[in-house]
Structure 1
Amino acid sequence: MSSTETTNKTPVASEKTNVKSTRDEPVLQVERRDFIDLVPEKRPRVQSLRGFDDCYTDIVDYIVRCTHKIWDERDVGLIYTHYTHNCVLYNALGTMYNREQVVQDTLQRLIAFPERRGMATQVIWNGNDVDGFYTSHLVTGTGRHTQYSHLGKPTNRTFVTRTVADCMIHENKIYREWVVSDNMAMMRQLGLDTDAIAYGMAKEQFDKGFRVTDIGENRRMVGQYPPEMECDVSIAHTDTEEQCLRWLHEIYNRRMLGKIKDVYAPNVQWHGPLMKELYGQAAVIHQTLALIGMIPDGAWMPQHVCSNPCEEGGTKVAVRWIMEGHHLGYGELGKPTGERLFVMGMSHYHIVNGKIVDEWVVYDHLALLAQIKLGQMEE
């Protein structure tokens, strides 16, 4: 599969820029640190950050601290100094094309969930302050639905959900961002009618004139040829990243799900959509089959990969990917409708001694359901 088929291709940085520091102290990692250690006071800057605000000491501190300031400390106006005026923000059902839209969207979300806390789970990154940074920020969100909002009457129920935000950053400003949230998990925990919510999401897009574009073949297979044996690994920066992309191509595009027992540890922990926490190779095989089976003609395409050595041992790898195909199989979305589906997904992997010991994967069934309803509205 050619990387030229993917959109939104990002500049790459050499492997050594991931660990380059202006001091002996390394760039922060999230896993073992309390929040006050992730946004330290009086810590000297340990990484070259030309053009960044003085309070930031490295790129992980930047993304964790500014996220907390905007969302938890309610300094929403920081978006004006941390996003470019023409920033583009992609999600699974709609795109924002300017900074003011980001401000307005943030305000509306804060209204609905004033008790929400977004806790940094991990940040995987690459780049430098000359070419630009890329961060993949996994957040575990908790809160309670206490206010009237676009979701209607508050239910006062609590929720836990996961979100991954991938950002391209240059001189203190985010200029492109991809956000994937497990909204279906949240709506189910709140006891809301997910079918009605998906219909409302679709109707909003339909009324704006947006339609589902069904391009037919997705080039996973060309004509009567089988899938490509080898994947294009040109977006990788390290041997570990190349190997991870080859594993995923083998599993998702060549449908060789037996590969999972070779590359996942027997005691792997899988953290998936709908806040599932599962264990072992059999669980990974089943959940992977669930996605492929729901979109059996789907083509899996990586769009970005980055990695960092992990303080716990091994390497953390972040992959931003899409899957395109049609709703031709049973699953979480119910009876097959034949509608075209576009999955925007984010996966984080912890690889130790050549085996995946942890996988976090986020994609949104609610956005997929809305896509189905949008296609049905057009018909």
Structure 2
Amino acid sequence: MPISDATYAPFDSPEEYILQWTDRIWRDYGLGRLEDHYAADMVVHGAYGPIRGMQTVLRGSLAKKSAFPTRVGTAEDVICEQRGADAFISHHRVFHSGPQTGWWTYGPPTGRNSESRNIAICLVRDGLVVEEWVVRDEYRVVTTLGLDPEQIARTVAFTDEPDGLFGTAAPTDVLVAGESGVRPESHADEAALINEFISAVWGLRHLELVPAFTQRDLFLETTRARVRTRADNYQSDLVQMLAPFPDAVVEVRDIAVNTAAEQGTRVGVLWRLSGTYDGAPAYGPVTRSPVEILGASQFLLRKGKIIREWRVFDEIAVMAQIARARGDVPQA
């Protein structure tokens, strides 16, 4: 059953819905339009915990726009996939750039240019966003503003909700239905490839399999604006991501696949990493405390193999959990 035009009206496609609404709200100072874009009871899942209700989102958006009034969010890609006749899921990869000229959570204006990559994953039903998962490279934001990541991590709060960042158990079979609902039957092979890659290589630590899943000239763009090329450097970066949490469990929570003439076949993935900070002391002295990470990746496929991955997660949120477990005193 094809998706109803009403789901993304008045635009020509789900991709245009996402791009045009982003500009209408952020470029045009149309923050009051949020009530026409978000359901009143919508939920945003972020790296520090859930945000509930459109009005709460509006308050946070006003603060962000005030701090970065001329910041530009440029779409790198939008991966959309149908979720029944009345809904679609969108994995929107955005590169943000612009100066901090107003007060922000981290303090007074720095005047410096902030740069970061975000991935916003929106479930749109009957023309309204009803649920969203937002992942930001906040470490890159902090460092481009000239601030100290460790000091900032002591000032931010992480959720105390017992159900954590997602509030639900992992999907039984993400290839059939993920956080966003039942997937279509199309692109089954591509979704299965990426699910197997993350499950086997990331989850079971079979890093020796990376070359079997990837093209020779593999590119990884990940947190802190780091770029890694070819399989051996991908393996090295993945080991460094996992090593602080040796018992880490990686869950694939949602998958969307789209093929377009210009962009090729891309796969968007929402994932969760949970583990204990008792391994490599990458974030200071180990605490043997639990850490939860909400992450997102986008993969570009070529001839049935991975040629590129963009990976985003919030290392400031990781550091905030560890700082709290360590009992660090917040510093202004």
Distance 1:147 1:314 in 2: 40
Residue 190 of structure 2: which of 240, 243, 258 is its match?
Answer: 240
Residue 321 of structure 2: aligned partner: 371
Residue 81 of structure 2: aligned partner: 126
Indicate the larger mover: 174-183 or 131-140: 131-140
Local SS of the residue matching 2:279: coil
1:53-68 superposed matches below 5 A: 53-54=9-10, 56-68=11-23
Give how far 1:193 is off: 2.1
Local SS of the residue matching 1:284: helix
Residue 50 of structure 1: aligned partner: 6
Local SS of the residue matching 2:156: helix
Residue 44 of structure 1: aligned partner: none
What is the letter of the counterpart of residue 99 of structure 2?
A: R
Residue 180 of structure 2: aligned partner: none
Indicate the larger mover: 232-241 or 85-94: 232-241
What is the letter of the counterpart of residue 290 of structure 1?
A: Q
| 1:327–1:336 CA contact under 8 A, matched in 2 | yes
Residue 250 of structure 2: aligned partner: 300
Deviations 1:218-269 (A, max 9, x none): x9xxxxxxxxxxx874446411101210111110121100111111212111
Residue 272 of structure 2: aligned partner: 322
Deviations 1:95-118 (A, max 9, x none): 111110000000000111112111
Distance 1:52 1:191 in 2: 40
Distance 1:142 1:313 in 2: 23
Deviations 1:104-159 (A, max 9, x none): 00000011111211101101111167241111100011111222232212221112
| 2:174–2:252 CA contact under 8 A, matched in 1 | no
Residue 361 of structure 1: which of 305, 311, 325 is its match?
Answer: 311
Residue 38 of structure 1: aligned partner: none
Distance 1:331 1:117 in 2: 35
Residue 36 of structure 1: aligned partner: none
Residue 131 of structure 2: aligned partner: 176
| Alignment partner of 1:198 is 2:153 | yes
Change (3 A) 1:292 1:147: same
* Structure 2: stretches of 5+ with no match in the other structure: 178-182
Local SS of the residue matching 1:329: coil
Residue 91 of structure 1: which of 46, 56, 77 is its match?
Answer: 46
| 1:50–1:129 CA contact under 8 A, matched in 2 | no
Q: TM-score, normalised by structure 2?
A: 0.88
Give how far 1:212 is off: 7.4
Give how far 1:213 is off: 7.8
Distance 2:310 2:261 in 1: 18
Distance 1:59 1:112 in 2: 30
| 1:295–1:325 CA contact under 8 A, matched in 2 | yes
| 2:276–2:290 CA contact under 8 A, matched in 1 | yes
What is the letter of the counterpart of residue 108 of structure 1?
A: A
What is the letter of the counterpart of residue 150 of structure 2?
A: D
Identical amino acids, percent of aligned pairs? 24
Local SS of the residue matching 1:148: coil
Local SS of the residue matching 2:309: strand
1:77-226 superposed matches below 5 A: 77-127=32-82, 130-202=85-157, 210=160
Distance 2:262 2:206 in 1: 30
Deviations 1:256-286 (A, max 9, x none): 0011111121211111011112211122111
1:18-33 superposed matches below 5 A: none
Distance 2:290 2:136 in 1: 20
Local SS of the residue matching 1:147: coil
* Structure 1: stretches of 5+ with no match in the other structure: 1-16, 21-46, 220-230
Give how far 1:74 is off: 0.8
Distance 1:284 1:106 in 2: 35
Moved over 6 A (4+): 211-214
The structure that has the greater radius of gyration is 1
Local SS of the residue matching 2:33: helix
| Alignment partner of 1:261 is 2:211 | yes
Change (3 A) 1:189 1:354: same
| 2:100–2:109 CA contact under 8 A, matched in 1 | yes
| 1:290–1:331 CA contact under 8 A, matched in 2 | no
Distance 2:89 2:219 in 1: 26
